[in-house]
Structure formats: structure tokens, C-alpha cells
């Protein structure tokens, strides 16, 4: 795990509204038109946000399990968003192709969203409920397709939706 040493406000905590963001999606070729994805478009779904980098070995180790999780929950009210903090889109694209990752990859080369979430390093993931609130923060790599994670996400998917707070997303 790679640790940041920034000093500032405490990290976003459980129960807080997930800070809103919109980032460019990874293009599969330089010829493909740019598009963006906003976290706010996922309201009503459980979202796993993963901050990672191509040069991070623990990030690399957890990616196959993330793909298996994404496939296991396909068709359910779930989205997995991988936010790459690399500044080289071609390297992120090569990584995605090498591991045949099908979940959305967003680009944060200036690390603005990474900073706003006040992450402690990479990999770091946040589980966001259907109302846009942070439920869990995971520092370090995980075996995302383990039964405990799949069950936890399904529990959140099945939970009743409350009216979101005005600051949600």
C-alpha cells in the first residue's frame, strides 16, 4: 500500500455524504470521443469507488477480484468505479486491456478527487449506499469477490432507500 502524507482535514467518514465528482472516462483508443461520468448519476445504486494507480502493486493484485465482483453483481443496482490517479492515459488503458477489466475507469490525473476524498494512499476504496452516504472505507487491497464483500453489497442493494440528504453526492 502507498501512503500519502498530506496534512489537512480528516478523511471523509462513515455516514457522510460522498463528495460529488465528475471525471473523464478512460477511452479505449485515442480516436474515441471523450466522455465523463458523474457520481451523482449513480444515486439509487450502491457504488464501490476504488482509488488506484498502475504503478501500485497492491492495486494490481486486487484488480482481478474487482472484475469478478463486478461480473457477479452484473444486472444488480451496483456500480464499481475505478479512479486512476495516473497522469498517463495510455498506461491506464494498457493496464485495463492487460487485465480485461470491464468496469468503468475514470481518470484523475490532477488527483483532485483523490484529494477531496482525503484518501490515505492506494489502493483505497469507499462503499457508498443508495442514498449517497459513505458506508465503509477500505484502506489497502481486498479480495473483493469474497463472500463477505458480495453479501455486504447485496445487503445494501436490498436495503430500503431513504430520501437523500441535500448534500448527497
Q: For 64-112, what is each residue's pLDDT tens digit?
A: 999 999 999 999 999 999 999 999 999 999 999 999 999 999 999 999 9
Cis peptide before 36 (omega within 30 of 0): no
Distance CA 130, CA 67 (A): 21
Report the relative pairing of strands 78-84 and 105-107 from DSSP bridges: parallel
Distance CA 119, CA 101 (A): 23
89-99 vs 57-72: helix crossing angle, rounded to 10: 60
- Is residue 115 predicted with pLDDT exceeding 50? yes
CATH architecture, range 42-157: 3-Layer(aba) Sandwich (3.40)
pTM summary value: 0.87
Amino acid at each position: 500500500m502507498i501512503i500519502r502524507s498530506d496534512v489537512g482535514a480528516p478523511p471523509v467518514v462513515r455516514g457522510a455524504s460522498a463528495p460529488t465528482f465528475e471525471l473523464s472516462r478512460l477511452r479505449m483508443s485515442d480516436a474515441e470521443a471523450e466522455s465523463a461520468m458523474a457520481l451523482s448519476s449513480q444515486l439509487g445504486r450502491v457504488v464501490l469507488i476504488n482509488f488506484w494507480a498502475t504503478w501500485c502493486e497492491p492495486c494490481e493484485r486486487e484488480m482481478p477480484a474487482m472484475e469478478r465482483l463486478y461480473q457477479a453483481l452484473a444486472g444488480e443496482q451496483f456500480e464499481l468505479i475505478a479512479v486512476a490517479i495516473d497522469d498517463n492515459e495510455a498506461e491506464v488503458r494498457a493496464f485495463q486491456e492487460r487485465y480485461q477489466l470491464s468496469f468503468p475507469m475514470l481518470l484523475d490525473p490532477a488527483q483532485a478527487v483523490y484529494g477531496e476524498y482525503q484518501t490515505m494512499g492506494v489502493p483505497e476504496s469507499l462503499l457508498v449506499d443508495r442514498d449517497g452516504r459513505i458506508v465503509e472505507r477500505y484502506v489497502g487491497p481486498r479480495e473483493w469477490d469474497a463472500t463477505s464483500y458480495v453479501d455486504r453489497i447485496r445487503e445494501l442493494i436490498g436495503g430500503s432507500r431513504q430520501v437523500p440528504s441535500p448534500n448527497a453526492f
